[in-house]
Every structure is written in C-alpha cells, then in structure tokens.
C-alpha cells in the first residue's frame, strides 16, 4: 500500500512541476522587449559574479526573443550571442562554486 501512495505522490509532484515549468515558459514567450531590458544590470569590472550570471541569462533571453520575433536577424549572430552567454554562465557558476568551496590554510 505504501508503494502505491509513493507512486501517486511522485506522479502528482511531477505533474505540478511540469505545469509550473510550462506556465513559466509561456510567460517568458510573452515578454516584451522593454521587460527584458528592464532586467539588465550594468556589468562593471568590479560587479559580482551573481550579476554576471544573471546578465548572461538575460542575454540568452534576448537571443530567444530575436529568434522568435525579429525578421531578417542573422542566425549566426544569435548563435554567437547564445554561446557567449552560456560561456559566461558556466564561468560564473564555476567561480561561485570555487568561492563557496573549502579554504585551505
């Protein structure tokens, strides 16, 4: 009986998570250019790693927006923007993990 309840709980949790993800994707597709640009923070040489991580995410959303709504955009430029944003995100994530790691004496 416990296994049946556990299976039901797993299916229910999966359904809720997938529904929430789908709603978030739908909202993201409806964003205007102004709402995307309002989330951009200036990235200076002294800015935090978290700001760089978030700004790279906004850059990926800009690439998605350009693919969906801009006619005549060069796919190579969109791919380059997306690749650069992923590189920045990976580098920022590595830096955050490294900073959170144990310190040697």
* Domain ranges across the chain: 1-30, 31-105
Q: What is the pLDDT of residue 62?
A: 93
Tens of pLDDT along the chain (105 residues) come to 888 999 999 999 999 999 999 999 898 888 888 999 888 887 776 578 888 899 999 999 999 999 988 888 999 999 999 999 999 999 999 999 998 888 765
Q: Cα 85 to the chain's mean position, in Å?
A: 10
CA dihedral 35, 84, 92, 36 (to 10 degrees): 0
Distances 86 to 57, 59, 60, 99 between C-alpha atoms, Å = 8, 9, 8, 20
Cα 63 to Cα 59: distance, rounded to the nearest angstrom: 6
Whole-model pTM: value is: 0.71
Any alpha helices (H) in 30-105, and if so which ranges?
33-38, 49-69, 75-100
Cα 84 to Cα 60: distance, rounded to the nearest angstrom: 9
């Amino acid at each position: 009986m416990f296994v049946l309840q556990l299976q039901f709980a797993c299916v229910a949790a999966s359904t809720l998570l997938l529904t929430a993800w789908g709603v978030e994707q739908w909202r993201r597709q409806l964003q205007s250019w102004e709402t995307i640009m309002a989330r951009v923070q200036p990235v200076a040489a002294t800015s935090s790693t978290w700001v760089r991580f978030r700004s790279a995410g906004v850059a990926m959303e800009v690439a998605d927006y350009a693919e969906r709504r801009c006619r005549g955009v060069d796919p190579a430029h969109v791919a380059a923007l997306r690749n650069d944003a992923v590189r920045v995100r990976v580098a920022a994530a590595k830096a955050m993990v490294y900073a959170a790691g144990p310190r040697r004496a």
